[in-house]
Structure 1
């Protein structure tokens, strides 16, 4: 399954610098003025997972294919974007197309980089963007409710669905009027399904990316701006990751063998990309399973709770339609055994049926018939 994360933020918070750094051959023009990113830049990033390389080595695979995540660099929003200020409406429509929002928040002081509002104030920055998302959703809900009032359902099934949508939208509308995001509203399965087509912006999970100076990377808790973002993220039921976009940018210029040493010198063990992707997976409720053989070892992304046939369908719809069984072994058991064949001999390979819920790190071989 493809995963899209939209990177948003006010102008000059380090958003495009971060995008350039995490996306190989990123083409966003990072410059010190608003709206330097006009069309959203899109880049595919491999999900770092050391388990894949271990499996590839054990299976003597010809290649290792990691899971991927698509980052979309969405141009700087400003106050009034929902009324078309800056280049707002166009950018708000781009956010509707992503699965999650990564909101870059400036937590560093630098007199050479002008802040759009004249001072570094993470809470104010977050409020500006969140309010624009709220206003945009309110406008969309108002139009949709008006349409539902005028329309007449063709059959009883459509009528039930429309009633569920109307009830859900009224609940969401009230929450938005109170300054709360749509994702904070308790909806049942039918209500969620009924409003899904609207792609409400405040329904999307948000991760706040606290962008700090290089000197704050090892001990971000000493930065009062980061602590403000942490408190807000907790209130808003959102994730938070601390990153230095400048460090990520510098890493891209170093040979891979020197990157680890550079990070160690800063007091951290890995780049921010790994943390960012892990937090995104966690917030979206995603899991990884593997297929591994001589031809290739590959990581696959699925939603937590997916059954074996559904996981097989991520590879190809025929796998799901003609599913017979899934020969399954946990990652740890596969590594301990040394190969799929050895795992089978030791009785570690299980034959799982249609109701099996795939677990994180399962190594699977699907049997199907079409």
Structure 2
């Protein structure tokens, strides 16, 4: 608290400082940039050459990783052909190791390049007015400076190994996308295989029996009790050799039974179930993860990847999570022997909802 002086003016205690009394005393001077500490590669040409070789080695490791990927992908054999476990293990090892080396080699190489060879001087630029022509000149100058500072013109070994690594690194991903189709005439059917039609057709067809996964035993309607859930595949899938995993990934379904009076059935789907036995695709419509959990009391199906929840009582409509589309329903009936069979294939593509599906 201030005190009143003899002349009625307020005076302040010496223990307090008041803003505005003498602002110049408290101004902080610009400390400037810290002194630049040159790196070893800045002063020693041998160290710079050694750093260049190290970066090039990382790019070469990336190239080797890409080669390992293709050795595992094309040389070891296809996973879907009932290979021995040791062969599958070796192939997965080469695929994972090759992809990791391809990506890490480029990443670590570029970081090491920037830390050891590119200029690291601190600079300060004054703000200036924005002018179109000036901006164009400045942008051109910046690009020129970047090219000069990267020393990519003066170091052809770096340039060539980087170009090779960048050109080869995307090839594993192209190969993976290409293998979405297992037909020999992939090039002729590329538009169909990358479109929604690729996921529209599965092994389900009229009269195909529903069998347990993985035993392959057929299912009678009387085997499905109220509140139960079964993982089901089409009969004959276990005999498929080429593309078995791809076919299973598309065709696997969940079969559940609940009180038909608790289900909202859309017009036209009245005969798609058998006394409350429903079959729905097990593939989540978000990113294609397998639906793994059925809650009997709530009639909910849960996806473990991103917690999308589907309500079986509402024809597997999504009620929570990122999925935006209901699980496709497989129309089923019973044959003369009482076994569950499909009436047809799915009436819509299974799996993630792409923009082409509307």
TM-score tier after normalising by the smaller chain length: under 0.3
Normalising by structure 1, we get a TM-score of: 0.19
User: Is the strand fraction higher in 1 or 2?
Assistant: 1
Greater RCO, CA 8 A, separation 6+: 1
Between structure 1 and structure 2, the one with the greater Rg is: 2
